[in-house]
Each structure stands twice: as structure tokens, then as C-alpha cells.
Amino acid sequence: MPNNPDFQLNDKRVINAWAFFDWANSAFALVITAAIFPAYFVAVTDDVVQVMGIEMHNSSLYAFAISAAYLLIALFSPLLSGIADYGGRRKFFLKFFTILGSAACLALYFFKGMDQLALGTTAFILAMVGFAGGLVFYNAFLPVIVSEELYDRVSARGFSFGYIGSVILLVVNLLMIQYSDKLGFPDKGAATRFAFLAVGLWWIGFALIPFRLLPSDARQKATPELLSRGFLELKKVWKAVRGEHNIRSFLLSFFAYSAGVQTVLFLAATFAEKELEFGTSELILIVLILQVVAIAGAVAASRLSEWKGNKFSLAVLLIIWISICLSGYLVHDKGQFYIIAAAVGLVMGGIQSMSRSTYSKLIPEGTHDPTSFFSFYDVLEKSAIILGTFIFGFIDQLTGSMRLSLLVLGVFFIIGLLLLMRVRVQHAGKG
């Protein structure tokens, strides 16, 4: 709880300040992880690099960097959740991870090529840890600043702020890279590195708003019980889930197809640059297409669910994902890839929103602590990212073909679809 006795719930200024944190950090998720950095990393490094005496493809190293970041996040996520929920350290750690992430973004400005490979890779990993770590404490502030009936509305406001802010910065960066010569940059590479600098400054700059207005917590003394609380909560959820066939089957399905979904989203830009020779400006345009189409896709998935039920809707989305992986393996033309990107956008938002709502319906009735179930869900998704990105990088390293890696991801979607068939979801009389 806040340590200020005069603090009032549902204060509009505080709510907007909280939403501005999404405006601040979503720029990293969209501009760096999705649009610019993947292709830049592949473009400025050798096709084959040496890391700790091991030779590997640069695209494999990029995939492994994501795996490493999410391994750190998954290991520490339960600990951080426990601290956020019971330790009174929300604001301190929100600041810590924001400073870590934004500083790492600023460091990417100095990543020019092979001579700074260690710097670039390490800074990218730390930026991802800062982003994901900050989200734990950002989310934990929601029940502190608003009453329960406003959770959905305020959460949606944060999402909207994040979408608008990140798209604005992405468009600015697109124009900056596209017209780099007219803006005085020596080349597009310099303009691209300036975009990394812009993200870091945007992130820490707008985060000062929530830092100033969000309430400080009433701190509790750190104890061994406090530090282990998050792990104990996950263990409790696992025991509950293990005996429930329906929710267990769904979570196994979710784990399988999430490994595919998240890996495609993280590595699509790398694939486009390396296999189809897309430039940075073209990749930014693709990401903008994804963002716009994703909104329509989420609405369409919701309408389909209302008509035919969650299970049917998820099955349709997974079949489309399988087709995307197969098409990606076969594509050799940029025009075709734009169509595939639009298809990804169509199912990207839909499968994430539909998965979460389906899981909500499967949580056992009478559960007094649904937050713990969603913490388990979150850790499972992070673990799926580790598996998916590692396998993608491993297949790429083993065969030298990102196309084969993409084809293997299709297997994850097939497994997810087969496991989903075992799930019964009650929804307006439909399974």
C-alpha cells in the first residue's frame, strides 16, 4: 500500500501518469526489438562470428541473445513478483529496471560493427531485461492506484498510450533514416544508431512522469519468506493445475504455440533482412502494417469467439499460423513477404488476447488468488520464448538456413493445435 495516507484511488492525474510508463517503454518493444535492431545487428556483423571460441551465424547469435535475456527474466520473475506484491519496493525497482533498460539502449548507439560485438549483444540483452523487469512492477501498480471496477479500463488506457507513443517514435525514426542525408547524417547506419539513442532518451524521459506522480510504497523488511513468496505461489498453482486435466492441456498447448508465436515476432525482421535483403526502411513499414492489421485481427478474433467459441477461434488462428510458417519457408519475393507480414499481424493480436481470455475461463471456480495463476501463465510464456528462440537459433546454426528454422516452428503450432483439441471451454453452450 502507498505510504502516503492522503493518497486517493482513481486519481486521473495518477492514472495518466501510470499510462505514460507504457508510452515510455513500448518504444523499446516496437522500435528496437521488432523494427530496427534485428536487421541492423545482422547487417553490421559478419555472417559467421566467434563467441567464446565458438563459431556461429550472426542470426543464431541474435536468437541466442533473446534466449539468454528471457532465461534471466524467467529465473528472476517469481522473485520480482514476490517483491512487487509483498515487499513494498514497486517504485524503487520500477526506476531500477527503467534506468537499466534505457541506459542499455543508449549504449547501443556505440555499436557500429564487429569491433563492438560484445557491447552490442550485452546491451541488447540488458535492455530486454530492463524492459521485462520494469513491466512486473508497472503491472503491480494497477491495483494500488485504481479500484477493481476500473482495472480493465485503465489497463486498456495504458495499452493505448503505449501503442500511440511507440508508433509516433517509429514513424519519426523511419523519416529520419529515410532522409538521413538531408538531415546531415553521414549514412543510414549513423541515423539508425541515433534511433537507438532516441529510444533510450524517450524511455527514461517520459518515465519521469510516472516516477514523479506514482505513490511510494510503505516498505517492508526484506525476509527470506518475502524473497521466496513468488516461487511458493507458482508451486501452489502448479499443484492446482496438475490435477485439472482441462487447464493442464490448455497450458501445454499454450506453451507449445507460444514458442512459435513469440519467436516469429522476435525474429521476423532478422529473417526478412537476411533471407530477402529487406532494408531498414522497408522493415519499419512492415512493422507499421503489423500494428495496424493487429488491431483489426484482435477485433475479428473476438467476434469469431462470440460466434463459435474460444476453442474454435484459437484453432482457426493456429491453422493460419501453421500456414504462415509454411509460406515463410517457401517465400522468395518481397511482395509475397508483405502478404505474409499482413497475415502475421492479423493473427498476432488475436491469439494473444484470445489465449489470455480462454485461460481466464479455465481457472478453477472459487479461486481466491487469480493473480498467482496469471504469474504462472506469464512465466510459462517466458519459458516458451526461451525454447522457441533457442531452437530457432540452433537449427539456423546447424543447417545455415533460417527457412528450416521457420519450418520447425510450424511443428510447435501443430503440437499446440493437437493439444488444444483436448480442451473443453464452456462458452455460451459451445466447447
CATH architecture for segment(s) 7-222: Up-down Bundle (1.20)
Q: How many CB atoms lie within 10 A of CB 260?
A: 30
Report d(CA 204, CA 105) in Å as an integer: 10
Residue 149 DSSP label: G
What does pTM read for this prediction? 0.84
Position 430 scores a pLDDT of: 43
The answer to whether 160 and 168 have CB atoms below 8 angstroms apart is no
Bridge partners of 427, per DSSP, are 430
Q: What is the mean pLDDT of residues 400-412?
A: 91
- pLDDT tens sequence across 43-63: 899 999 998 888 999 999 999
Computed from CA positions of residues 369, 371, 375, 377, in that sequence, does the dihedral angle turn out positive or negative? Answer: positive
- pLDDT tens sequence across 194-250: 999 999 999 999 999 999 999 887 666 656 666 677 677 777 777 877 777 888 899
Position 361 scores a pLDDT of: 79
Q: What is the mean pLDDT of residues 416-421?
A: 94
| Of 131, 134, 127, 130, nearest in space to 90 by CA | 134
Q: Nearest 10 degrees: CA dihedral of 214, 143, 23, 261?
A: 150
2, pLDDT greater than 70: no
8 dihedral zone (left: phi>0; alpha: psi -120 to 50; beta)? beta
Give domain limits for the chain. 7-222, 244-431
Fold match flag (7-222 vs 244-431): yes
Which homologous superfamily does the CATH classification assign to the domain defined by 244-431? Answer: MFS general substrate transporter like domains (1.20.1250.20)
Report d(CA 311, CA 358) in Å as an integer: 8
Computed from CA positions of residues 340, 286, 257, 389, in that sequence, does the dihedral angle turn out positive or negative? Answer: positive
388, pLDDT greater than 90: yes
